[in-house]
Amino acid sequence: MDKKILRDGIKQQLAAMSRPVYEQKSFQIARRLYALPEWQESNKIAVTISADFEVDTWQIIRSAWLAGKKVCVPKCHPDTKAMYFYQLEKFEDLEKVYAGLYEPIPQNTTLIDAKEIELMIVPGLLFNRKGFRIGFGGGYYDRFLSSYIGQTISLAFSIQLRPDIPVEGHDIPVQKILTDSETILCL
C-alpha cells in the first residue's frame, strides 16, 4: 500500500469537510482532550500548529494558555531532519515556512529541553487502533519519539482511522487517539 496515495486520499477527504462540521468535530475532540488527566496534570505540552485540514490546534493552544500551561511548538530542520520545540507565548511569534506550515521564530521564542515536555500531541494523517500513524512523510516525529518518555496523544477525525495502514520497524505508536466519537487506548 503506497503511503503517498493514502496521504493524498485522506487529504482530499479532509479538505471536503464543510466548515461547520470541521468546527464541531474539532470542538468535540478538544473537549475530549481537556477531560483527560494527561491534559489536566501536564504543565508543559507540545503541539503542532494545525494546517487547514487538520484537527484545529489553534483553539487547543488558546485553552492551554488560559489554563496557565506552557505550550511548545516544533521547528523542523529539513537539512538534518531534526526537530526542536520552542515555547510559544503568542501567535505573533510564528512564521510561515515550507508547505505553508507555521513554526516558531527561534529568536523570538525559547528552546525547550524535550525532557521537560509532559504531553506530546502527535500529528498524523491516518491512524490504526494500535496507535501507529502515517504522518506527513518527513519522519520527524518517529525520530523524536524514539527517545521521548512523556505521554503521547494524537487527535484525529473518525475518517482518519484505518485498520490497514502500513507499519514499519521504526514507527513509534502513540498511547491514545482522540476522535470526535471516541477515546482509543492504544497500549
For 137-178, the pLDDT digits (tens) are 778 898 899 889 999 999 999 999 999 898 888 889 999 999
Give the integer Cα–Cα distance in Å for 32 and 24.
12
**Cα Rg of the chain (Å, integer):** 15
Q: Has this prediction a pTM greater than 0.85? A: yes
Residue 187 has pLDDT above 80, yes or no: no
Quote the DSSP letter at residue 161. B
- What's the pLDDT tens digit per position in 15-28? 999 999 999 999 99
- Burial class, 80, CB count within 10 angstroms (exposed 0-12 / middle 13-18 / buried 19+): exposed
Q: How confident is the model at residue 136 (pLDDT cuts 50, 70, 90)?
A: confident
User: Which pLDDT does position 99 carry in this prediction?
Assistant: 76
Give the integer Cα–Cα distance in Å for 158 and 28.
11
Longest dimension (CA), the chain: 43
User: Which pLDDT does position 1 carry in this prediction?
Assistant: 67
- What's the pLDDT tens digit per position in 33-58? 999 999 999 999 999 999 888 999 99
Question: What is the number of structural domains in the chain?
Answer: 1
Kindly state the average pLDDT of the residues 56-76: 97
Give me the domain span that covers residue 72.
Answer: 3-185
Q: Where are the alpha helices (DSSP H) in 16-136?
A: 19-34, 37-41, 58-66
Residue 37 belongs to a domain with what CATH number? 3.40.50.10420
